[in-house]
Structure 1
Amino acid sequence: MRLFTIRRAVRRTGNRFAILFLCLFVGAQTLVAQTKPADSFTGLKVPEGFRATLYADDDLAHDIYSMTVDSLGRVVVSGPGYVRILIDEDQDGVADSFKQFADGPASGAQGMYFLGRDLLCTGDAGLIRYRDQDGDDRADGKPDVFLRTRTGGEHNTHSIQKGPDGWWYLLLGNTTGINEKYITLENSPVKKPYAGTLMRLTPDLTKGEVRADGFRNAYDFTFSANGDVFTYDSDGERDISLPWYRPTRVFHVLPGSNAGWRSRSWKRPDTFLDMPPAVAAFHRGSPTGVSCYRHRSFPAEYQGALFVADWTFGRVHAIPLENYDGSYATEPTEFITGVGQFGFAPTDLAIGAEGALYVSVGGRGTRGSVFRIDYVGPVVAQKPNLADVEEAPVADSTETPAELDACLSAPQPLSSWSREAWLPLLKQLKPEDFYRAALDSSRPEDQRVRAIEIVTEQLGGFPDRIVERLILDQSERVRARLAWSLAYHDQPTRKTEWLNALLKDDSALVSRFALETLMQLGDQIDQSQCLDGLQQTLGATARYVRQTAARATATLNTEDFQILSERIGPDEGASLMTLGYATVIKQGGGVVPLAVRTGITVFEGDYQTDLRLDALRLIQLGLGDLGPPTKMAAVFDGYANGVDLSDHERHLDPIRIRLMQAFPSSHEILDHELARVLAMLAPYNPKLLDRILAKITDDTDPVTDIHYLIVAARIPSDRSREQSKKIASALVHIDEKLIRFKLPQDTNWDDRFRELYSQLVKIDADLPRQIVEQPDFGLPGHVLFLSQLPPQFLGKAIEAFERKIEASPDFQWNSDVIFVFGESTKPAHREMIRDLYDDFALQPAVLAVLAAQPEEQDRDKFIAGLESSQIEVLEACVKTLEKLSPPQQPEETVKLFATLRRLGHDKREKNLQARIIPLLQRWTGQQFGQVSDLADPEKARALVQAWEEWIAKTYPQVYQMVLQQGGEEAEKLNAVLSTVDWETGSKERGEALFRKRACIQCHGNRSALGPALTGVARRFSREDLFTAIVSPNRDVSPRYQTTIVGTVDGKVYTGLVVYRSVDGLTLRDSNNQTTRIEADEIDFENKKSTSLMPTGLLKDLTPQDLADLNAYLQSL
């Protein structure tokens, strides 16, 4: 690539080529124009003026997990068991080949960063390094391990990057298990990490701290031009339409912040005073790659913007950043989306040396690709602010050295390839050059900020004489970066003086960075000298300045904390709140009475709504914070205390009284959180319950209704008849409201709603009867309420369902309703169920109900059910056939054997085989081996083979019709197999053939489609293996049967479902193509008892080919 060429030139001839190289970066539109344009990729939609091209396809890199650009400017990708450098040999903008940098990590790397020729990545043992000391693009050996963490899972160790301070930053998911043991730096912003974390490691990787925590599963992060960290965290997708559901959010990650994930059923809202800024939210999704565009090739509106990728919905968002209130404001736009049903599943983003945005796709065994997004529209004139390279003076000139301009204007300055270019230039310059650049107001702000960062990372910091000028600079970004710089190195010597002044700065951005520095330094400085400035920040109008001030205040020693506290007057509500939050942080958990008192005082005071809302959150924190509570259902994770309050009971009643008197307020948002506080306090008060239930009306949305119903479940007072009816009505109308408000539900919805209902019934045993008597009872979702219904009322409930069905021709039958009618003894109800058999989606439930009291007239249904893809249906059918008389037709015996033959892949299937064999023995009078033989693979194979030989001989025509799919092919195969010299097989040639015939696509490492083939030759005979290849539909395990999806526009898609949610699904087909289908586009969905594996895979293979393929399969 161009970068590699120029880097070699730098080694030969010095700095002029490096300068030219960086200048070309800045004017990168010319680079795009110089390359031969590749064909636009029509499967992606990009904004006008941009072009998407396919840079690399699945043949170069399958199932890509992560991507980076190395120090030579080449795109590097990783997936299961590989790291590959993609090579564009002819410079046409399309990769032609790859170099295998490493045959690992086996888990795949989910984050990569090249430091020179060495690769730091996450995978296998944790944070590891592959060395390439000889520069041959091949890792020298096994990797070094720097930090042992959990890897490989989707919620484990993720992205690794180098920050502007020269430290390493590492992002880890919520199942990685990062705890206090990982903290080896004294002033770690987070002391007791929980859930997903952002770690910061020293440049030599010997020590570390936790910078932030509370993420669910943020996969990637980036640094903005101001040096702030941004990440994109996942939602709790299975909890959608429940009160604690939070969408995917892009967080501005403040040091010491917690992003609010506490459990599957409790994720804090953005409104909480301790939550970090959520600069953007995108509803449902699976966040992956994050990058900040700091290049010049894209138009100005994208320069400095964040790009974030969503795997589930196949989209990339652009998020321009504007300084606001100590954080950022934005108006996001959709930058890339898939066209039609094209399966665009982005996993990572990277900015190339030429300024293109690269997007990798893959994940969960799906097709791997890399797309390149270039701007090809009208060139926007931009002043490069660089000296003329040809006339550039030498470095020791009194004029500005060209090396300095090139160094400060280097695009993507934190990237591997950019550092490789500007670091050599740094050696030719003096610290004074950068001092002057930082002070030079005629330079663009970005260059001045970079000067401060370079001085901080590389040159030991600024002397006092420079700081005293920078601190008065007109640019808030320059002052903010100076505040950040003070956290590093011993100079300047008057650090506390400067820091105190910066804390008082009028700019929220500046004071927030000064507070972060105060946090980081801790007791390394005399913090008492900063109390004046710190006091000013406690009452700042900017929310996130106050939040950071609380964290900084918590680092004070006891004496300074007390002095600061005494300075705050009783009417300074904002300062009191900040101090109260600081008290909670400093105590480190448990009940904090001061915080409760402060919160109540501010809440009852004459303050603005947002501050009163913060006061309610402070009360929650003071009470020990919200869940997850012990010995309580998950639905109460966000409504009950995480600590036991029994020792504080005598102090709680006055608090209960004051807060109950305040409910309801005149503000809906205040009532919402005040109700949550009351739920924590669990007051026994019937009048409060009336006021809580009054918040539920015909017009309120179901999510709000559930919130107040959960609060009601936390009020243990006896229910009046009217209260019981009100709760029953609210519960019954949830389903109708979900439909009216068009709100989706996912897998956790029923479980949480059932937990809520169970608790309400514990308090009010008459509630189930009241529900059944509601005039609107009888919708499919109401089946859940029958779990607590006394048996004597079941008939009444079934009658209610029957009335609804009769009144609604389009009644949405589901399995639950069928099971309800299965409890009826009325023949008409059984006939109603039987009539539903032809509805494919309802067949499993119909068979299960009919199986409970089997009748001969339904025998054909149970025989047909043996072809089901659901193991539950197979079990019900076999169990029923055990009770019925032996068959009169041989087809039934053959189909039962066919079921035996295709099972055996897991314990449950083997258990079902153990029931089928005695049934075959009873039907046929034959016996081959013992059921216990199924425990041994060799004996199990012989047992099934013995039955097959008898079936084929006894019922040859039926056997041929039912089981011998591809029989002609099988006969040809057997003839060829007899001629093969198996001893001549080559494992290497067999592996090549395995890949050439595309078997690797479905049976590769960690593939989402076909079963793993490890040990396959030990489980099956050679003949069985090759027969399965030539006749893939012969024996298909329920787990691998094909799904057919039809869309409302008449299209039909076939494949295996690799991802499913209420919003839609993702299919992968036999050609390794990925298709995303939205829920509202699906017309029907069925499963076939056929395989996705194509036929004809052995066509035209020679006996030697078969020997080679066998040798490879034997090696697995």
Structure 2
Amino acid sequence: RGPGLYRLQDLDGDDRFEKIDRIIPMTGGGEHGPHAIIPGPDGRLYLCAGNQTDLPEKIDRSRVPRHWSEDHMLGRMPDARGFMANRLAPGGFILSFKPDGSDVELVSTGFRNQYDIAFNPLGDLFTYDADMEWDIGTPWYRPTRVNHVISGAEFGWRNGTGKWPEYFADSFGAVANIGYGSPTGITFGTRAKFPAKFQNALFISDWSYGVVYAVHLEPEGASYKSTFEPFISASPMPVTDLLIHPEQGCMYMTIGGRKTQSALYRIRYTGSESTQPASFPDNEPAKTARAARRQLEAMHTPGASLDITAAMRHLGSPDRALRSAARLALEHFDSKLWRDPVQQALPAQSAITMAVALSRKGTPADQADIQNSLLRLDWSKLNNTQRLELLRAYQLSFLRLGQGDPAVRQKIVAQLDSHFPVADGDSLVDRELARVLIYLNAPKIVDRCVAQMNGSNSAEQQIHYAFCLREAQQGWTPQTRKAYFQWFYDIGTARGGASFGGFLENIRKVAIGNLEDEDKKELGELIGPLPAPKDPLADLAPRALVKQWTVEELSEKFAAKKGGFNYERGKQMFAVAQCYKCHRFAGQGGIQGPDLTASSQRFSTKDMLTAILEPNKEISDQYEATVFQTEEETVIGRVANLNGDNLMIATNMLDPGNFTNLKRSDIVDMKPSKVSMMPSGLLDTLSEDEIFDLLVYLQSGGNPKSDRYASITPAR
């Protein structure tokens, strides 16, 4: 009968299947193949499939406009280890269909490997998508994340370096970025005999790290905002699936996979809080926005009529879900029906979203109108979200519609060039400006990108510039070439996932391949074989011990200081103290530890100092290590992967791609570690003023215009 989706029917109630039919032929298998099938609130079935699954040959209708592409300005490099190098868009997808397999509809695309899906009580669909752990440390790494699956959305998985950042205007981002892990089963707590908070939670499973998270969703506009917390964790605990028993109200959880020990658990609430059925949280503005979104989504199906008034009204919405739904509605219809407003002076957000839609749906004849509509916009009046979407609109206008008029290209350079690097230090806007300006051969852009590459405290940001510059053919000087290739030696302390080093090597190879013979001779040994990577802690060696600081001493002195804090030095100290290696802050850094961008909203200055100076005092379950005892050795770390009897243990958060391998059968004892994975003494090489600048940098959320910098003094 061949591979596909089968329906098995027991026609006479004897617990035997008399009728077996293949209702949807499908190809794809393994761990990135077809996954969960669930009933939807509309009486249809919904199926999710990972990125090793081909779309069925017969799709009756698609909510996703069927003109997807790779859409990479400056190209894409495949994974350095060759993984899925030939898998192209649309990636993983979600289908819906009638129970007999008819009326197959494509709902959403662009996933990596979403193992399960679930509807909330308001009828909205969610999934938990996988990261590519080999990308850790690169600017294209995307953590495991919870997605609100709106109609027709594209979530931007592409192979290798091509993964779209979540801010791309033609994608739809995450409602929660979780971190490292291996997503498996998910379920809402609906009908659970749990306290109200957990009845309304989305429970998501992480197979690798043995955690079930509770994600608390709150309607915000036409989508949601969220917080999340560990609900259950153990090591190892390879969770595979979850469900709520509709009558008992208990949670059932299975573990196993890859020849690991399987088991079935039941989780019950035994506390004193009320477990009476609770309503899902909602609010009137969100109800209105959801209704508007669903009105727009009704245009995502064949036979619908285009309501141009509704679509145009929401193209400029500050609500991303509404403007995405409006854009997708337009893209389902012939662009001749809706393109005319592009010639008018539209409000900024409307002009940008219209440009994205027409670039994707239109023809080369539309390019001049699209680009002129964007040239009318005043950069200084755009917020950073609009700037990012403007830059993506320009990218799509070239990628989809061609090289364009040289005179218009020069006007675009004139509009954008003076803003790189951006005054407010937004690293993401700088990334996209660099991408577009290198593509357009802006004057001196190579000089500026090399300077930014060598001046950034973030390895991710540096790698982005190196990646973009690899294809730059014009604007080089002997000095910038030497600085560029010297960087590959200087970045040697950085660490990442399994493909990290290979990506850097391949970027360098492409750049060397673009050199003229004369340039190669001049660079000499700089383009020869690279030395072996250095110890990731070696960059701390030049800093001498200043003092073994205490919380009490620093708290008192900081409270007495009235001002004069320096933003740039605080940012520098965040790197010197190695915070970037484990923590994200203002969109940059690692994700082994918690994101610190909003830390000042949770911690007082004293709490912050305690967390840094005394990391063992309180250890979150989410980041707790385990002590593994064998007859031969003691290993402290977190389980990063399992395969049969083998455990891969991450022991050094500063070197996340380096594992210690243990056999489960060799382990004689396991217990939670009382020692934090975060090293102590990270501030002992900093002076008092450097620590204070670091604290205020954390309190500012990375914003140089924060009130904390009312009076900024020069770096001392």
Is residue 2:210 matched to residue 1:314?
yes
Is residue 2:331 matched to residue 1:547?
no
Q: Provide the rounded CA distance (Å) in 1 between the counterparts of 2:380 and 2:236.
A: 55
TM-score by length of structure 2 reads: 0.68
Q: Provide the rounded CA distance (Å) in 1 between the counterparts of 2:105 and 2:202.
A: 26
The letter of the residue matching 1:132 is D
Aligned counterpart, 1:368 = 262
Find the residue that maps to 2:385 and give its secondary structure. helix
- Aligned residue among 327, 333, 338 for 2:223: 327
Distance 1:1053 1:300, change over 3 A: farther
**Are the equivalent residues in 1 in contact too, given 2:391–2:432 (CA < 8 A)?**
yes
The letter of the residue matching 1:373 is I
The letter of the residue matching 1:675 is A
Find the residue that maps to 2:126 and give its secondary structure. strand
Q: Provide the rounded CA distance (Å) in 1 between the counterparts of 2:501 and 2:488.
A: 13
The letter of the residue matching 1:343 is P
The letter of the residue matching 1:524 is A
The letter of the residue matching 1:304 is N
**Are the equivalent residues in 2 in contact too, given 1:538–1:550 (CA < 8 A)?**
yes
The letter of the residue matching 2:325 is T
Distance 1:594 1:235, change over 3 A: farther
Q: In structure 1, list runs of 5 or more residues that go unmatched.
A: 1-122, 385-443, 450-473, 481-506, 626-642, 739-743, 784-803, 808-1046, 1055-1060, 1093-1116
Find the residue that maps to 2:520 and give its secondary structure. coil
Q: Looking at secondary structure, tell me which structure has more strand per residue.
A: 2
Aligned residue pair count: 545
Q: Provide the rounded CA distance (Å) in 2 between the counterparts of 1:138 and 1:590.
A: 61
The letter of the residue matching 1:602 is L
TM-score by length of structure 1 reads: 0.45
Aligned counterpart, 1:760 = 511
Query: Displacement, 1:167?
Result: 1.4
Aligned counterpart, 1:139 = 17
**Are the equivalent residues in 1 in contact too, given 2:98–2:104 (CA < 8 A)?**
yes
Larger radius of gyration: 1
Find the residue that maps to 1:624 and give its secondary structure. helix
**Are the equivalent residues in 2 in contact too, given 1:173–1:196 (CA < 8 A)?**
yes
Q: In structure 2, list runs of 5 or more residues that go unmatched.
A: 69-88, 543-624, 667-716
Query: Displacement, 1:677?
Result: 1.7
Q: Provide the rounded CA distance (Å) in 2 between the counterparts of 1:161 and 1:174.
A: 19
Q: Provide the rounded CA distance (Å) in 2 between the counterparts of 1:603 and 1:237.
A: 40
Query: Displacement, 1:661?
Result: 4.2
Q: Provide the rounded CA distance (Å) in 1 between the counterparts of 2:626 and 2:41.
A: 51
Query: Displacement, 1:553?
Result: 2.2
Deviations 1:390-410 (A, max 9, x none): xxxxxxxxxxxxxxxxxxxxx
Query: Displacement, 1:615?
Result: 0.3
Q: Provide the rounded CA distance (Å) in 2 between the counterparts of 1:195 and 1:589.
A: 27
**Are the equivalent residues in 2 in contact too, given 1:237–1:746 (CA < 8 A)?**
yes
Distance 1:334 1:605, change over 3 A: same
Structure 1 segment 97-136 matched on structure 2, within 5 A: 125-136=3-14
Aligned counterpart, 2:60 = 184
Query: Displacement, 1:355?
Result: 1.4
Find the residue that maps to 2:180 and give its secondary structure. coil
Deviations 1:594-622 (A, max 9, x none): 44443444363622221121100111111
Distance 1:158 1:556, change over 3 A: same
Aligned counterpart, 1:232 = 128
Query: Displacement, 1:251?
Result: 0.6
**Are the equivalent residues in 2 in contact too, given 1:126–1:157 (CA < 8 A)?**
no
Deviations 1:463-516 (A, max 9, x none): xxxxxxxxxxx9567xx5xxxxxxxxxxxxxxxxxxxxxxxxxx3222112211
**Are the equivalent residues in 2 in contact too, given 1:684–1:717 (CA < 8 A)?**
no
Find the residue that maps to 2:31 and give its secondary structure. coil
Aligned counterpart, 1:170 = 47
Q: Provide the rounded CA distance (Å) in 2 between the counterparts of 1:564 and 1:1084.
A: 56
**Are the equivalent residues in 2 in contact too, given 1:126–1:146 (CA < 8 A)?**
yes
Query: Displacement, 1:523?
Result: 3.9
- Aligned residue among 603, 612, 617 for 2:387: 612
Aligned counterpart, 1:722 = 479
**Are the equivalent residues in 2 in contact too, given 1:155–1:174 (CA < 8 A)?**
yes
- Aligned residue among 204, 218, 222 for 2:118: 222
Find the residue that maps to 2:24 and give its secondary structure. strand
Aligned counterpart, 2:299 = 518
Distance 1:187 1:711, change over 3 A: closer
Deviations 1:994-1053 (A, max 9, x none): xxxxxxxxxxxxxxxxxxxxxxxxxxxxxxxxxxxxxxxxxxxxxxxxxxxxx9957128
Is residue 2:248 matched to residue 1:344?
no
Q: Provide the rounded CA distance (Å) in 2 between the counterparts of 1:1062 and 1:599.
A: 49
Aligned counterpart, 1:357 = 251
The letter of the residue matching 2:473 is P
Q: Provide the rounded CA distance (Å) in 2 between the counterparts of 1:368 and 1:600.
A: 60
Query: Displacement, 1:247?
Result: 0.7
Aligned counterpart, 2:175 = 279
Q: Looking at secondary structure, tell me which structure has more helix per residue.
A: 1
- Aligned residue among 309, 314, 317 for 1:537: 314
Find the residue that maps to 2:61 and give its secondary structure. coil
The letter of the residue matching 1:508 is A
Q: Provide the rounded CA distance (Å) in 1 between the counterparts of 2:2 and 2:251.
A: 28
Distance 1:720 1:476, change over 3 A: closer
Distance 1:364 1:601, change over 3 A: farther
Aligned counterpart, 1:1078 = 650
Q: Provide the rounded CA distance (Å) in 2 between the counterparts of 1:259 and 1:445.
A: 26
**Are the equivalent residues in 2 in contact too, given 1:317–1:333 (CA < 8 A)?**
yes
Deviations 1:43-63 (A, max 9, x none): xxxxxxxxxxxxxxxxxxxxx
Is residue 2:527 matched to residue 1:746?
no
Query: Displacement, 1:136?
Result: 2.9
Distance 1:225 1:661, change over 3 A: same
Q: Provide the rounded CA distance (Å) in 1 between the counterparts of 2:504 and 2:366.
A: 30
**Are the equivalent residues in 2 in contact too, given 1:189–1:255 (CA < 8 A)?**
no
The letter of the residue matching 1:542 is D
Query: Displacement, 1:189?
Result: 4.9
Query: Displacement, 1:305?
Result: 1.6
Deviations 1:670-715 (A, max 9, x none): 211111123434x275x22111112134552211111111222222
Deviations 1:182-239 (A, max 9, x none): 3213766556561111112134321212111111111111111111111111111111
**Are the equivalent residues in 1 in contact too, given 2:651–2:660 (CA < 8 A)?**
no
Identity of aligned residues (%): 28
- Aligned residue among 1048, 1051, 1061 for 2:629: 1051
Which deviates more, 202-211 or 606-615? 202-211
Query: Displacement, 1:727?
Result: 1.5
Query: Displacement, 1:1079?
Result: 2.9
Find the residue that maps to 2:121 and give its secondary structure. coil
Distance 1:718 1:582, change over 3 A: closer
Deviations 1:974-993 (A, max 9, x none): xxxxxxxxxxxxxxxxxxxx
Distance 1:186 1:548, change over 3 A: closer
Query: Displacement, 1:171?
Result: 0.8
Aligned counterpart, 2:677 = none
Structure 1 segment 482-881 matched on structure 2, within 5 A: 507-520=288-301, 523-525=303-305, 527=306, 530-558=307-335, 560-562=337-339, 569-587=344-362, 592-602=367-377, 604=379, 606-624=381-399, 645=402, 652-656=409-413, 658-667=415-424, 668=426, 669-681=428-440, 683=441, 685=443, 687-697=444-454, 700-717=457-474, 719-736=476-493, 738=494, 744-762=495-513, 763=515, 764-766=519-521, 769=524, 771=526, 780-781=532-533
Aligned counterpart, 2:642 = 1066
Q: Provide the rounded CA distance (Å) in 1 between the counterparts of 2:54 and 2:363.
A: 20
Aligned counterpart, 1:800 = none
The letter of the residue matching 1:624 is L
Q: Provide the rounded CA distance (Å) in 2 between the counterparts of 1:364 and 1:593.
A: 54
Q: Provide the rounded CA distance (Å) in 2 between the counterparts of 1:153 and 1:589.
A: 41
The letter of the residue matching 2:15 is D
Find the residue that maps to 1:508 and give its secondary structure. helix
**Are the equivalent residues in 1 in contact too, given 2:175–2:226 (CA < 8 A)?**
yes
Find the residue that maps to 2:147 and give its secondary structure. strand
